[in-house]
């Protein structure tokens, strides 16, 4: 739903186009994993898998990732029935029963999409009420392929080489049961990629970076933009706006540094 693309565009495609546009104007890029940031009053040391770099200003835009269940079998069966993306993997489960874990907008969006392919979609939620928007709740409740399992947690994902069943646990009486299933789609939200910043910069209780309205952290010259930031709308268009604001703030900081 990014403006300017009436037919829609995937996040990957949009990112590639942005990268092409930026490099056409001289931007230099390096693909590497950032392992640490050591800020100080003069320079910031950024350590990566491709070496160390010193910068007067740093914009942190490391985004977020899908939140994991962290139960046995989840990591082992990733790509073998465990997925975090219905639009990516949904067609693989045509005429098969699948489960969606979660109760928010993301979970119901996934469930509604999967109902186009799967024979049955079981939405498993730890509560007895959905957090999703009214319009999504109404659509899901009348979709004949979607069923709900309330007050339930996934304790384990089981299968040899492929997902075969879920081991479920009731939240009220801790009753254990099994559910034969071909695929499980985890949709319990996002978590920020800030583990390398713990103890370095202030984070909120969810692990998101705290900034002011112009994207500045408490350390001069260190800024944050996008999903990694506290109170972000978690949308591509707002992340782009954050990036523009952060770039302008970085420019002002560098101009001030040069003149002082």
CB 96 within 8 A of CB 183: yes
Say how far apart CA 226 and CA 246 lie, in whole Å.
10
Say how far apart CA 145 and CA 120 lie, in whole Å.
5
Q: Which residues does the annotation mark as catalytic?
A: 85, 88-89
Say how far apart CA 118 and CA 194 lie, in whole Å.
36
Contacts of 55 (CB under 8 A, 6+ apart): 43, 44, 46
Say how far apart CA 71 and CA 172 lie, in whole Å.
19
- Partners of 146 in the beta sheet? 121
- Three-state DSSP string of 39-81: ECCCCEEEEECCEEEEECCEEECCCEEECCCCCCCCCCCECCC
Torsion of CA 233, 152, 183, 207, to 10 degrees: 30
DSSP SS3 for 121: strand
CB 46 within 8 A of CB 52: yes
Contacts of 218 (CB under 8 A, 6+ apart): 201, 202, 210
């Amino acid at each position: 739903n990014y403006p300017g693309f009436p037919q829609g565009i995937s996040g990957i495609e949009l990112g590639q186009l942005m990268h092409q546009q930026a490099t056409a104007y001289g931007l230099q890029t390096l693909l590497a994993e950032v392992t640490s940031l050591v800020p100080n009053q003069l320079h910031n040391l950024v350590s990566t898998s491709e070496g160390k770099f010193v910068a007067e200003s740093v914009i942190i835009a490391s985004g977020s990732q899908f939140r994991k269940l962290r139960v046995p079998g989840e990591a082992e069966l990733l790509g073998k029935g465990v997925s975090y993306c219905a639009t990516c993997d949904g067609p693989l489960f045509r005429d098969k029963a699948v489960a969606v874990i979660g109760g928010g907008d993301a979970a119901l969006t996934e469930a509604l999409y999967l109902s186009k392919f799967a024979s049955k979609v079981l939405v498993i939620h730890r509560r007895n009420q959905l957090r999703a928007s009214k319009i999504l709740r109404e659509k899901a409740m009348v979709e004949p392929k979607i069923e709900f399992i309330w007050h339930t947690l996934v304790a384990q994902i089981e299968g040899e080489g492929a997902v075969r069943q879920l081991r479920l646990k009731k939240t009220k009486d801790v009753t254990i049961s099994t559910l034969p299933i071909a695929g499980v789609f985890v949709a319990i939200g996002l978590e920020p990629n800030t583990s390398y910043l713990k103890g370095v910069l202030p984070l909120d209780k969810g692990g998101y970076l705290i900034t002011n309205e112009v994207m500045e952290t408490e350390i001069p010259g260190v800024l944050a933009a996008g999903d990694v930031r506290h109170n972000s709308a978690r949308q591509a268009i707002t992340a782009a706006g954050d990036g523009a604001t952060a770039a302008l703030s970085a420019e002002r900081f560098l101009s001030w540094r040069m003149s002082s």
